[in-house]
């Protein structure tokens, strides 16, 4: 749980050993970028905590310590307890991620040449993080590898998605994967991306998620053929 206070939004030019100098509330500051990322880290932390909670609950329910009275197996998730179900929470944080993207600071607010497309890239990567564990295991793989016995199998972590929900998950993941690949392409062309381990991991995850959705979802394939998946980022 992240409880650290956000730093002041006041630009460093107005912070002196004697105290804060007066400045206009609308004064541009690069710190708006930092603050916006702090908000995203809180959302990412929540997503990871809920997904790991689901995974841990599954492991405890079927493990050797399922009846161990000393194990704290019934601790509620502070995030899921505010919602009636996992799907309700997922819908809520999906909306909050959208609000985060819509409220991204502009160059006028920050006063720096920070490419706002980076915010969009982070948004779509969070969408993949949120939905990828809800992707169902293909029946042929389940029969061959018996994946329901694995801790990290998403169909074992929570109730299987309804048919309509499952197709929505595939469409979400397909769109997010496509957007991440397109944005990285755009950043590469203008030399605004460094190919660190994290960037490589993000590209691999987006590519695998995109291909998985195409392979297993008729809805995704139909939309790709009809070119319905949005293309806000040009080639």
Average pLDDT (188-196) is 82
Q: How does DSSP assign 84-143, residue by residue?
A: SSHHHHHHHHHHHHHHHHHTPPPHHHH-S---THHHHHHHHHHHHHHHGGGSPPPHHHHH
pTM of the predicted model as reported, rounded to 2 decimal places: 0.81
Q: What average pLDDT is seen over the chain?
A: 82
Is the model more confident about 204 or about 162?
Answer: 204
pLDDT at residue 154, as a whole number: 43
pLDDT at residue 158, as a whole number: 44
Type and span of the H or E element at 15: strand 15-16
pLDDT at residue 91, as a whole number: 94
- Cα 4 → chain centroid: 21
* Cα(77)–Cα(131) distance, integer angstroms: 19
Per residue in 124-182, pLDDT tens? 999 999 998 887 665 655 555 444 444 344 444 444 556 568 889 999 999 999 999 99
Give the pLDDT band (50/70/90) at residue 233: very low
Per residue in 28-85, pLDDT tens? 888 899 999 999 999 999 999 999 988 887 777 776 767 777 777 778 888 998 898 8
Q: At what angle do helices 163-189 and 218-225 cross, to 10 degrees?
A: 50
* Cα(223)–Cα(167) distance, integer angstroms: 12
* Cα(180)–Cα(233) distance, integer angstroms: 9
| All structural domains of the chain with their residue ranges | 12-66+73-225
Per residue in 87-134, pLDDT tens? 999 999 999 999 999 999 998 888 888 888 999 999 999 999 999 888
Is the model more confident about 223 or about 209?
Answer: 209
């Amino acid at each position: 749980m992240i409880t650290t206070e956000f730093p002041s939004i006041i630009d460093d030019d107005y912070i002196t050993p004697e105290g804060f100098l007066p400045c206009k509330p609308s004064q541009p500051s690069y710190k708006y970028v930092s603050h916006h990322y702090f908000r995203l880290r809180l959302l990412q932390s929540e997503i990871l905590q809920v997904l790991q909670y689901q995974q841990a609950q599954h492991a405890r329910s079927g493990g050797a310590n399922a009846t161990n009275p000393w194990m704290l197996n019934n601790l509620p998730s502070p995030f899921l307890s505010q919602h009636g179900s996992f799907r309700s929470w997922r819908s809520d944080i999906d909306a909050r991620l959208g609000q985060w993207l819509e409220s991204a600071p502009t160059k006028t607010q920050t006063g720096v040449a920070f490419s706002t497309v980076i915010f969009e890239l982070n948004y779509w990567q969070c969408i993949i993080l949120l939905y990828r564990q809800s992707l169902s295991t293909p029946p042929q793989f389940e029969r061959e590898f018996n994946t329901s016995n694995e801790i990290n199998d998403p169909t074992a972590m929570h109730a299987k998605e309804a048919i309509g929900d499952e197709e929505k998950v595939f469409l979400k993941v397909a769109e997010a994967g496509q957007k991440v690949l397109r944005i990285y392409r755009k950043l590469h062309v203008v030399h605004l991306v460094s190919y660190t381990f994290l960037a490589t991991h993000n590209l691999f995850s987006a590519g695998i998620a995109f291909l998985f959705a195409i392979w297993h979802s008729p809805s995704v394939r139909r939309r790709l053929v009809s070119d319905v998946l949005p293309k806000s980022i040009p080639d």
